[in-house]
Structure 1
Amino acid sequence: MIDLRRLNVLRALAEHGTVTATAAALHLTPSAVSQQIRQLARDLDVELLRPEGRLVRLTPAARLLLRHADTLYAQWEVTRAELAAQNESVAGTLRLCGVSSAIAALAAPAVAGLRGSHPGVTPLIIEEESGDCYRLLLAGETDIALVLPGPDAPPVTDRRFAHVPLLHDRQDLLVPEGHRLARPEGVPLAEAAEEGWIVKKRNNDTYPLLTVACAAAGFSPHITHQVKEWYSVSALVEAGLGVCLLPRIVPVPSRHAVVRVPLRGEPAPARRIVACVRPGSDEHPLVAAGLAALRSAAREAGGVEGPDFARVTGEAGGGPASPAYQGPG
C-alpha cells in the first residue's frame, strides 16, 4: 500500500532538493521528513534515498516512483470527485487562494455568485503570492489557485497542475498629473526608459513582469523605490518619486493625483491570470462550481481567454517545477 501523504513528502524532496528545505515547505521537522520517507521505503520494500556527503540523492527506484506519482494523485482526485458527485447538492468548503488583485477582481464576485447559486458552499479565501499558491495546491491546502504565470512558474507541461486561463490583463503606465507622459492617447513604454520605477524586487510578481516588459521595449528599468502595496505605490507616484506599471483590473485611488496612461505598441505589456487546480479535481462538484463562477467573473472583468473553459494540462512529464515567482498580484 502507498500512503499518498508520504509520497507527497518524497515529491517535495525532489522539488526542494534538501531535507531541510522540504521540511520548511511542508511545515514539518527535518526528522519528520526523514521518517516519512523511511516508512514509505519500508512500505514498498525499496531504497529511496542514498547519502551523499551531507546531502541525500534520490535512487532510481525513487525516480521511478515519482514518474507514477502524478497519475496516482490524479486518479485519487477523480475518485474523490466521483464520490462527491453522489450527493444531491453541491455543498462543503471551497478553498481559494490567490494574489490580491485576482482576489479583488475575480474571487470576490465569484464567491458572491456562489452564495446565490449554491448556498451550501462555504468559501474560504486566502491571499498568497503565486509561488505560495502553487505550493498550497500541491500540499492539498487549497482547491483553486489564482496565479500569475511568470518566468519561474511551473511550465504547462508540469503534470502536477491543470491550468485554466481566465483573463488577459493589460498593463498601463501610472504617472503623476502634469507629467510629460500623461497623454490620454497613450505612449510607447520605451518613452519611460529614463524614468525612475517603483516596484519591490523581492517577493513580488510585478517585478519580473516589469523587467520582461521593459526588456521587450529595449531598456532595463532603474528602480528608485521598492514598494509593493498598490495604494502605497500610487501615493509615491503622486509625490513624483517614480512611475509604475499598473494592471488594468487594479483601480486608481480616487484621492491620488495620478494618471493612468495606456501603453501603445507591440508587444503591449500584459499579464495573464490563470486558475490552477490539481489534475482530476476539476471534476469535483465544489471545484467545478468554483471554476464556473470564476469564469463568469472573468467575463465581467474583461473576458475569459479562449472559446471555453477548457483545461490546459501538460502531456509530457514536466517533473518537479521551480518555485514560482511571487508578488502582490
Structure 2
Amino acid sequence: MLDSRRLRTFHEVVTTGSFTAAARSLGYTQPAVTQQIRALEREAGVPLFTRKGRRMYVTEAGRTLARHTEEILGRLRDAEQQLQALARLRAGRVRVCAFPSANATLIPETVAGLLADHPAVRVELQEAEPPESLHRVLSGACDIALSFSYPGLRPEVPPELAEIDLLEDRLVVLLPVGHPLARRRAVRLAELAQARWVAGCSRCRANLLQICAEEGFEPDVVFTTDDNLALQSLVAAGVGIAVVPSLVLSFLNLRQVTGRLVEPNVFRRVSAYALREHVQLPAAELVLEHIRSAAAARNGC
C-alpha cells in the first residue's frame, strides 16, 4: 500500500524538479524529503529517480506513478472537501452555486423563503456557469449547483450527482425598442439573418450558433459577454441583438430594450444538482424545497 503523504512528496518533487525545491515548497528539510522518497521506492519496489552527473531524472517507473499520483491526490482532496461539506450541511450551512440569471431571480426568492420559514439555515452564495458549477459540487467546494442545458447540447451528468428538474426557460430575442420587429409578440430567427449579434457565455453562444444554423444562417457575432447588464447595454446602443433566456427579462434594466419570444419555440432546461448522499440531509433538503418552490412559481407565470 502506497503512503499518501509520501505520494504528495513525490508529486512535489516531480512538479518542482528537485528535492530542494520540493522541501522548500512543503516546508520540510531536504533530508526529510529524501527519506520519504526512499521509503516510497521501497514500497513501490522500483527506483523512481536516477541521477546522471548533477542532474536528477524521473525513471520510467516514476513517470508511470506520476501519471496516477495527480488523480489519486485529486480524489483525496475531493474526499476531504466532501467530508467538510457534510459537516457544514449538518450545521445548517448550505453553499449554493448558480449561474448569473438564476442568482438574480430564483436565489433571492429562495433565500427570502428560507429566512421566513427556517431562519437557522444559512445560505452561502457562489456564482459560476456550468460545467464549472457541477465540478464544484463534485469537489466539495459547494453543496448545491443550479445549472442549465440546451437541447442537443446536454452534457452527461456524473453518476454521483442527483439531478432535480426545475423549469423550462424559454428563449427570447432582445431588440432595441425602435426595431421594426419589436411590435411583434414573437419573432422568427430567420427574419434576423442579416442582423449583428451579441452572444453570451460559451454554452449560450454554442446554442445560438446551433439554432441559427437550423434556420439556415450563421449569425454575425460582433461581441461576446457573459455579463447580462453589459449585454443589454450593447443591444440598447445598437451594437447588435441577442438571444437570452426569459429569466433575464425579470431584471431588464433598460427602457431602450425589449424582449420578444423566439420562434420556433426554443428553451433551456434549468436543474439543481447535489451529491446523492447529501440530498436527504435536512439543510440541503430545505434549500432544494425552496428552490423548487421558486421555480414552480416561475413555471406558473
1:105 CA displacement: 1.5
2:136 match: 136
User: Would you say the 8 A contact 1:166–1:303 is kept in 2?
Assistant: no
Change (3 A) 1:185 1:129: closer
Partner of 2:156: 155
Larger radius of gyration: 2
Which structure has more relative contact order (CA 8 Å, sep 6+)? It is: 1
8 Å contact from structure 1 (residues 186, 262) kept in 2 = yes
SS in 2 for 1:262: strand
Moved segments of 4+, more than 4 Å? 1-6, 49-53, 150-154
Tell me the residue number matched to 1:120: 120
What TM-score does the superposition give when structure 1 sets the normalisation length? 0.64
Residue aligning to 1:272: 269
Structure 1 residues 168 and 118: CA distance shift in structure 2, 3 A? same
TM-score after normalising by structure 2 = 0.70
Aligned twin of 1:98: 98
Deviation digits for residues 205-264 of structure 1, max 9, x if unmatched? 422222222223232221112233222211221222110012111126353312211112
What is the CA–CA distance in structure 2 between the aligned matches of 1:176 and 1:212, rounded to whole Å?
23
- Would the alpha carbon gap of residues 288 and 50 (structure 1) be closer, same or farther in structure 2, given more than 3 Å must change? farther
Residue-pair matches, total: 255
- 1:211 partner letter: L
- In structure 1, the residue matched to 2:49 is none
SS across alignment from 1:250: helix
Offset of residue 51 of structure 1 = 5.0
Alignment of 1:68-83 (within 5 A): none
Question: What code does the residue aligned with 1:262 have?
Answer: L
Give the drift of 1:122. 1.0
Query: Do the aligned partners of residues 284 and 264 (structure 1) sit closer, same or farther apart at CA in structure 2, a change above 3 Å counting?
Result: same
- Cα RMSD (Å): 4.2
Contact preservation (8 Å) 1:148, 1:274: yes
Cα deviation code 1:22-57 (max 9, x no counterpart): xxxxxxxxx88xx9xx99xx7xx789x96559x954
* Pair 217,231 (structure 1): closer, same or farther in 2 beyond 3 Å: same
Tell me by how many angstroms 1:3 deviates: 11
CA contact (8 A) 2:110 2:294 kept: yes
Cα gap change, 1:194/1:95 in structure 2, threshold over 3 Å: closer, same or farther? same
Q: 2:99, 2:5 → 1: CA distance? A: 27
Superposed, which structure 2 residues align to 1:29-108 within 5 Å? 51-52=62-63, 56-58=66-68, 84=90, 92-108=92-108
Give the distance between the partners of 1:103 and 1:2, measured in 2 at CA: 44
**Contact 2:236–2:254 (8 Å) recurs in 1:** no
Give distance in 1, aligned partners of 2:170 and 2:259: 12
Match of 1:287 in 2: 284
Deviations 1:87-109 (A, max 9, x none): xxxx5211101111111221111
Aligned match of 1:237 in 218, 235, 238?
Answer: 235
Distance change (3 Å), C-alpha of 1:248 and 1:5: farther
Q: What residue ranges of structure 2 are gaps of 5+ in the alignment? A: 9-14, 17-24, 27-32, 46-59
Q: Within 1, Cα distance between the matches of 2:5 and 2:154?
A: 24
Taking a change above 3 Å as real, the CA distance of residues 121 and 216 of structure 1, as seen in their structure-2 partners, is same
Say which structure is richer in helix. 2
Q: Partners of 1:5 and 1:138 in 2: how far apart?
A: 23
